[in-house]
A and B are shown apart, each in its own frame.
Chain A
Amino acid sequence: MPELSTKLRQALSQVQKPGRYTGGEPGSTYKDKEKVDVRMAFCFPDTYEVGMSFLGEKILYELLNRHENWWCERAFMPWTDMKQQMEQLGIPLYCLESKDPLRDFDIVGFTLEYELCYTNILAMLDLSGIPLRAADRDERWPLIIAGGPCVCNAEPMADFFDVMQLGEGEQMLQDICATVETSKKQGWNRQRLLEELAKIPGVYIPSFYNVTYKEDGRIEAVTPNRPGVPARVTKAIVKDMDSFVPPENFVVPMVGAIQDRASVEVLRGCVRGCRFCQAGQIYRPFRERSPQLISESARVLCHNTGYDELSLTSLSTSDHSRLEEILDRLNSWAEADHVSLSLPSLRVDNFSQSMVEKTTKVRKSGLTFAAEAGTQRLRDVINKNVTWEEIERGCNIAFSEGYTSVKLYFMMGLPTETMEDIKGIADTAQKVVDLYYANKNHAKGKGVQVTISVACFVPKPDTPFQFCAQDRREQLREKQRYLLSCVHSKKIKVNYHDSATSVLEGVFAKGDRRLGRVIETAYRHGAFFDTWEEYFDYDRWLEAFRECGIDPDFYNYREIGLDEVTPWDHLDVGVTHAHLVREYQKALRAETTQPCNRQCSGCGANKLLGGPCFDYHSDHV
């Protein structure tokens, strides 16, 4: 075990929770750095506690480290006290395992989970002494790569990355590492390496594309600037979810992570087609993992980590066609192994009595339902095919089972929304309170707590609502005030947050390459940890936009024409433009679309599978 340097010991003695910066957790991987060919630093641009909750990193960490001659390590954004110590003492950002600085690695990869983490990426590169812009780096610097959902519109961060990965990393990242290994052995320069990497499905090399603009600021075209580069990059996927074993070892954090439990991914994609939801579109097509593999690997995972809670994760776990079988298999060993099950994403409409029983054998926790909108009309607009009758049925089952708290998720600022819809949010919560007291089997002597959590809707790329303008802050504030005036019960608690972060999220979600300068300027003016309310400074951002001469309203408060070239047109996630237009027009008419396991809506994502997603002749649902 290497000695910690005196400098590092000094820094650690001055900061809160130093265990976040020392590594060594059970399950972490150590190799002899002299004996490995490729070293990758997997960076998460938020704190240790947030990053260690992220399943994607656990999947890729294990996949890469299964290669004997590759070593994947972890780095996180240090909290402000540690960042300050590192700057003062001249400690470059390092990986937790080897304590080697990021610039010593072959590949430095970042996850783009959320638009407001962008400044943290620059802060982490800067802390490592790595030049921020790809144009300023040659083969002497690590290859700086990105992955994650935000790559579906990679453009605002395009200037900073050598390589961006569109889609799922299981195969793509291994192909990248293999190419880097060859490159090192052959002594390729950076250009040659990038040209080889561009051949890997899903890989996007931003510097290989030129963007031209119209006079009014809209994009004219995005075109490859050399031969052999695809005009559109197509997302990489894992066709068969049983083709690789989910992680059976987690690095188990000692300083508590937010999601500190075992989790197994049961399916990928979503059949629902909610029109506001980016994940529901970009993770298509829908693919299930078999109950046997889920149960077997989950058991090994719980055994290896010692976790006593197992969570079945996915966008919509209850849509797994064999969920009952999964639960039966898990329950055959869970109790004896002291493991309790939790299903974080349940839907009201197929929430059943037996499912509640199978998941609450050990402990009862709160229940959450995502209703998303307060009236049936608006739920039809957004294609959240949930009816009040279904909410009523789901709540009644839960109340009879002893649940006393219900959390309802809503959005505000949705397309076509009126004050009637806002009042509907309060009315829905009130009806749930009334349901509880009308239910004779509710928990004896206990009251009910209904929490309404209202998020500000942000139009996202690759969704039918990408064409819509975002609500302005004043409109959202007025709606928030009106909602509060509609709530009359002490049993109802309303949570909402300031809309300033949503504005920026909207700008960067739909932004183009010109925003790279704004992100860099804001960072130079001290912006980082924008996801943390205490560090977010809206005025600093507005100042950065002014300094760069860029109007943020152009990106989020403007409707996008149905025939307009978007900054993400050359990044193909599978769902076609024609489908998005069709769904948008149906939304305006408040017409719903069936979930795709019942009827194919022709979104186009099945081309990634090379055939239909479902066997519609069998009795699937």
Chain B
Amino acid sequence: MTTIRITFEKCGEAAYISLLDLQRVFHRILKRSGLPVYYTQGFNPHIYLSFACPLSLGQESLCESCEVKTEAENPDLEQWKETLQPYMPRGIVITRVAVAVQKIAEIETAVYRITMPATAAPALEEYNAAPSAVVVKKTKRGQKELELKTYLPQIAYTVVPEGVAFDLKLPCGTGEALNLNPSLLLGYLQQNHNIPPWECRVLRTGLYTKTGEEFC
């Protein structure tokens, strides 16, 4: 059995497809494709599907992925890509279909490209100057306070045509490991500096493993 990773972009309208809905979409598209994907062996067989570190609703990504399995030997993965793409929702563009190299559990960090209106620049300066920036993070066991500055001491932004932009590297662990969402920073800036989060764009650009390699 081989694990196949389907890597795709999720931008524009597709940013509003929830994980639950995305699972159903992929299930249907894989089913209709007739590709030799592995079905779980049970009373009610369904396609084995596993999404890596799914995004929050409204955020965009260049590097989403899901795993399927196949018992086929030497599958033509370029053909898989061509078969699947025409039936994808708008905004989902498959960039790569390949044999999985790493396991999802090896993902450690994610990098996001954040774009904000130019008016956010003073707020970012204030953030950089502040000794502390405490946010409340919701977890499965309730709320807990978290010092953003531990993970994000400085924001080095640049001026771009749309306003200002910067890259954000945040822990993106699976399971019990720490996972920080860029919305924590956006929430902090909204609460303390009135920066409307809907005027900010969050684009995930890469996922990296413990050894610093790009997840694939």
Given the known A-B contacts A13-B197, A18-B16, are A254 and B89 also in contact in the complex, defined by CB atoms under 8 Å? yes
Taking a contact as CB atoms under 8 Å apart, the answer to whether B57 and A6 are in contact is no
Decide yes or no whether A9 CB sits under 8 A from chain B: yes
Taking a contact as CB atoms under 8 Å apart, the answer to whether B91 and A6 are in contact is no
Decide yes or no whether B18 CB sits under 8 A from chain A: yes
- A25 and B27 CA atoms in complex are apart in Å by 14
Residues of B within 8 A of A19 (CB): 16-18, 21
Taking a contact as CB atoms under 8 Å apart, the answer to whether B57 and A18 are in contact is yes
Decide yes or no whether A414 CB sits under 8 A from chain B: no
Closest chain A residue, CB of each to CB of B201: A9
Decide yes or no whether A148 CB sits under 8 A from chain B: no
Decide yes or no whether B25 CB sits under 8 A from chain A: yes
- A1 and B22 CA atoms in complex are apart in Å by 19
Decide yes or no whether B13 CB sits under 8 A from chain A: yes
- A400 and B88 CA atoms in complex are apart in Å by 44
Least CB distance, B186 to chain A, in whole angstroms:
10
Residues of A within 8 A of B32 (CB): 302-306
Taking a contact as CB atoms under 8 Å apart, the answer to whether B17 and A254 are in contact is yes
Residues of B within 8 A of A3 (CB): 12
- A28 and B91 CA atoms in complex are apart in Å by 13
- A501 and B74 CA atoms in complex are apart in Å by 62
Taking a contact as CB atoms under 8 Å apart, the answer to whether B89 and A26 are in contact is yes
- A25 and B25 CA atoms in complex are apart in Å by 9
Mark each residue of chain A from 241 to 254: 1 if its CB lies under 8 Å from any CB of chain B, else 0: 00000000000101
Decide yes or no whether B171 CB sits under 8 A from chain A: no
Taking a contact as CB atoms under 8 Å apart, the answer to whether A26 and B16 are in contact is no
For the complex, count residues of A whose C-beta is within 8 A of B: 31
Closest chain A residue, CB of each to CB of B117: A6
- A6 and B25 CA atoms in complex are apart in Å by 27
Taking a contact as CB atoms under 8 Å apart, the answer to whether B25 and A9 are in contact is no
Grouping DSSP codes into helix (H, G, I), strand (E, B) and loop, the B interface class, with mixed when no group exceeds half, is helix
For the complex, count residues of B whose C-beta is within 8 A of A: 28
Decide yes or no whether B103 CB sits under 8 A from chain A: no
Residues of B within 8 A of A6 (CB): 198-199
- A331 and B32 CA atoms in complex are apart in Å by 18
For window 1-54 of chain B, which residues contact chain A by CB distance below 8 Å? 11-14, 16-18, 21-22, 24-25, 27-32
Decide yes or no whether B58 CB sits under 8 A from chain A: yes
Taking a contact as CB atoms under 8 Å apart, the answer to whether B24 and A23 are in contact is no
Taking a contact as CB atoms under 8 Å apart, the answer to whether A252 and B91 are in contact is no
Residues of A within 8 A of B13 (CB): 1, 4, 22-24
Residues of B within 8 A of A24 (CB): 12-14, 89-91
Residues of A within 8 A of B57 (CB): 18
Closest chain B residue, CB of each to CB of A28: B90
For window 1-41 of chain A, which residues contact chain B by CB distance below 8 Å? 1, 3-4, 6, 9-10, 12-13, 17-19, 21-26, 28, 30
Given the known A-B contacts A19-B17, A305-B32, A306-B87, are A254 and B198 also in contact in the complex, defined by CB atoms under 8 Å? no
Least CB distance, B85 to chain A, in whole angstroms:
11
Decide yes or no whether A338 CB sits under 8 A from chain B: yes
Decide yes or no whether A114 CB sits under 8 A from chain B: no
Least CB distance, A361 to chain B, in whole angstroms:
14
Mark each residue of chain B from 184 to 215: 1 if its CB lies under 8 Å from any CB of chain A, else 0: 00000000000011110000000000000000
- A351 and B22 CA atoms in complex are apart in Å by 39
- A256 and B25 CA atoms in complex are apart in Å by 10
Interface residues of B (CB under 8 A from A): 11-14, 16-18, 21-22, 24-25, 27-32, 57-58, 87-91, 196-199
Q: Can you pick out 25 interface pairs between chain A and chain B where the beta carbons lie within 8 Å of each other? A: A1-B11, A1-B91, A9-B198, A10-B196, A12-B58, A12-B198, A17-B18, A18-B57, A19-B16, A19-B18, A19-B21, A23-B90, A24-B14, A26-B29, A30-B90, A252-B28, A254-B21, A256-B24, A304-B32, A305-B28, A305-B32, A306-B27, A306-B87, A308-B31, A338-B31
User: Which are the 8 A-B pairs with shortest beta-carbon distances?
Assistant: A306-B28, A24-B90, A306-B32, A10-B198, A24-B13, A22-B13, A254-B21, A18-B16
